[in-house]
Amino acid sequence: DGGITQSPKYLFRKEGQNVTLSCEQNLNHDAMYWYRQDPGQGLRLIYYSQIVNDFQKGDIAEGYSVSREKKESFPLTVTSAQKNPTAFYLCASRRDRGSATEAFFGQGTRLTVV
């Protein structure tokens, strides 16, 4: 079955440690996204990537880094520079063939930094 896989579902880290969240898709989609959700708030764009080896900052990119070495994979690293990293992180992908393509989403990763 095609889809997007995020792992792990729950992640705990100590303050000051970098942590990498995984996002893999087998839908052959070109565009991939990372969003963050805080309690009572909507999805805020962290980074997106249109093609391999290219990515663009969203509204809240500070303290995060990404890579897109393979079409299928778009990992997100939450660095120690991110001041408030505890949140729900959602990955999405879209086929890049014009605007009439919906996004597909992973199940999300809930990160807790203690």
Residue from the set 34, 35, 64, 74 that interacts with other proteins by CB under 8 A: 35
Confirm or reject binding of residue 47 to other proteins (CB under 8 A). no
> How many residues bind to other proteins according to rule CB under 8 A?
28
Confirm or reject binding of residue 33 to other proteins (CB under 8 A). yes
Only segment of 19-27, 45-53, 67-75, 76-84 that touches other proteins (CB under 8 A): 45-53
Residues 57, 22: Cα–Cα separation, whole Å: 18
Only segment of 15-23, 69-77, 79-87, 101-109 that touches other proteins (CB under 8 A): 101-109
14, 15, 29, 84, 95 from 103: Cα distances, Å: 32, 32, 10, 27, 8
Q: Compare residues 35 and 82 and give the one whose CB is closer to other proteins.
A: 35
Confirm or reject binding of residue 106 to other proteins (CB under 8 A). yes
Q: String of b and e for 70-102 (b: at least 16 CB within 10 Å)? A: ebbebbbebeeebeebbbebbbbbbeeeeeeee
Inter-residue contact 4 to 94 (CB < 8 Å): no
- 71 backbone φψ class: left, alpha, beta (φ>0; ψ -120 to 50): alpha
Confirm or reject binding of residue 39 to other proteins (CB under 8 A). no
Binding site for other proteins (CB under 8 A): 4, 31, 33, 35, 41-45, 48, 50, 56, 59, 90, 92, 94, 96, 98-108
